[in-house]
Amino acid sequence: MPEVVVGRLVRAHGLNGEIAVDVRTDEPDRRFARGTVVTLRRPQADVPLSRTLRASLTVASTRWHQDRLLVRFEELGDRGAAEAVRGLVLVADVADDEQPEDPEEFYDHQLVGLRVHATDGREVGAVSDVIHSGPQDLLVVRREGAEGAEVAEVLVPFVGALVPEVDLEKGRLVVADRPGLLDPEEG
């Protein structure tokens, strides 16, 4: 079953195990509803945590505080437990045919595998991964057929100015190339 990143655990809040979450979903009420189970992941890794830590958390309650979502998970009973998971990413399972509510949003599994074209029409590769880091997501574009290119992968910020078109039906997306973006040697 595909997964989507729904948040990143930022810091403990108070003494009772509440933790601030950097929300990475347009559906926080749905993804952080009471009783929802989310899986923990290390940032930029697709593998579950080792068995020495709990691999999933169950939402006990949520509340908004100064534009930040505070979540209490059943498994985190105190501040120390909340601090122990700080920095980890939360993912949720989605059905294969599930679509985001916003037509301008995409799940990672929808993007991985799309053919990447520059605005001049040339095909430059395919999306091999999506990295959730910092203020914006990054598309990992696996370069194919680039003559003399030493770089096998490039990172493209997933923002409208650089990725003006995503066409899931045609299995492609368009990147507005800038010097050094798709061909780092040119930058």
Pairing status of strand 172-175 against strand 115-118: parallel
The 3-state DSSP composition of the chain as helix, strand, coil percent (nearest 5) reads 10, 40, 50
Does pLDDT of 187 surpass 70?
no
CA distance 65 to 13: 10
DSSP labels, 3-14:
EEEEEEEEEEET
Tell me the pLDDT band of 150, cut-offs 50, 70 and 90: low
Tell me the pLDDT band of 166, cut-offs 50, 70 and 90: very high
Q: What is the percent of the chain where pLDDT is above 90?
A: 54
For the chain, residues classed under CATH 2.40.30.60 are 3-93
pLDDT at 15: 92
Between 46 and 94, residue with greater pLDDT = 94
The H or E element containing residue 108 is helix 108-111
Angstrom distances, CA of residue 151 to CA of 21, 23, 30, 187: 35, 32, 40, 13
Angstrom distances, CA of residue 87 to CA of 9, 118, 180: 5, 34, 31
Angstrom distances, CA of residue 94 to CA of 5, 100, 134: 10, 10, 23
Contact present, 53 and 85 (Cβ < 8 Å): yes
Mean of the per-residue pLDDT values of the chain: 85
pLDDT at 181: 86
Does pLDDT of 52 surpass 50?
no
Q: Which two tokens stand for residue 99?
A: 């679509």
Does pLDDT of 149 surpass 90?
no
The pTM of the full predicted model, rounded to 2 decimals, is 0.66
Mean pLDDT of 52-69: 85
Model confidence over 25-51: pLDDT tens digits?
878 998 999 999 999 988 754 444 444
pLDDT at 47: 45
Task: Please enumerate in sequence order all residues whose Cβ is within 8 A of that of 182, keeping only pairs 6 or more positions apart, or say none.
Answer: 118, 124, 141, 143, 154, 156, 175
* CATH annotation of 108-186: 2.30.30.240
Distance of CA 20 to the CA centre of its chain: 17
For the chain, residues classed under CATH 2.30.30.240 are 108-186
Other beta carbons less than 10 A from residue 139's beta carbon: 23
Among 3-7, 61-65, 79-83, 149-153, which stretch is predicted with the lowest mean pLDDT?
Answer: 149-153
| Class of the domain covering 3-93 | mainly beta
Does pLDDT of 109 surpass 50?
yes
